[in-house]
Amino acid sequence: MTSIPDDFHDLFETETFAHVATLTEDGLPHVTPVWIDYDEDDDRLLVNTERGRQKERNVQHNPAVGVSMTDPDDPYRFLSVIGEVDEITTDGAREHIDELARRYMDVEEYPNPIETERVLLRIRPDRIL
């Protein structure tokens, strides 16, 4: 396991979009743009999604993921992470999507309807590129 370098923590404080790659049950790649966050205390990337979406279903059977993000102010500055979803939890997920909505949309609450329930994918970084 490795940690996100300190000089890249700022990417998690702005409107940085990430792409998360998972594998389908057939072994095919599935890549999704997402809002991204970082739990510095536990050294975990956080992806908030809804129960039943493709990426959540994919990591249920294969927790290996790839995550890449590009600095919105400098497209030549990027971070790429290979890791594993070591926890899928609903704890704090609803509050977390509101936090992300404040950062990414400048609104107090996540405005889209929640059809099932929000879940957090907690990604342990194993390799940083």
Greatest extent of the chain over all pairs of C-alpha atoms, in Å: 39
- pLDDT for 41 beyond 70: yes
pTM for the model: 0.94
**Residue 87 φ/ψ, nearest 5 degrees:** -160, 135
3-32: pLDDT as tens digits: 999 999 999 999 999 999 999 999 999 999
Quick check: is 104 in a domain?
Answer: yes
What is the pLDDT confidence band of residue 1, given thresholds at 50, 70 and 90?
Answer: low
Overall domain count for the chain: 1
**CATH code for the domain in which residue 124 is found:** 2.30.110.10
| Structural domain for 111, as ranges | 1-13+44-63+77-129
90-120: pLDDT as tens digits: 999 999 999 999 999 999 999 998 899 999 9
Q: What is the 3-state secondary structure (H, E, C) of the chain?
A: CCCCCHHHHHHHCCCCEEEEEEECCCCCEEEEEEECEEECCCCEEEEEEECCCHHHHHHHHCCEEEEEEEECCEEEEEEEEEEEEEEEECCCHHHHHHHHHHHHHCCCCCCCCCCCCEEEEEEEEEEEC
How many other β-carbons are positioned within 10 Å of the β-carbon of residue 22? 24
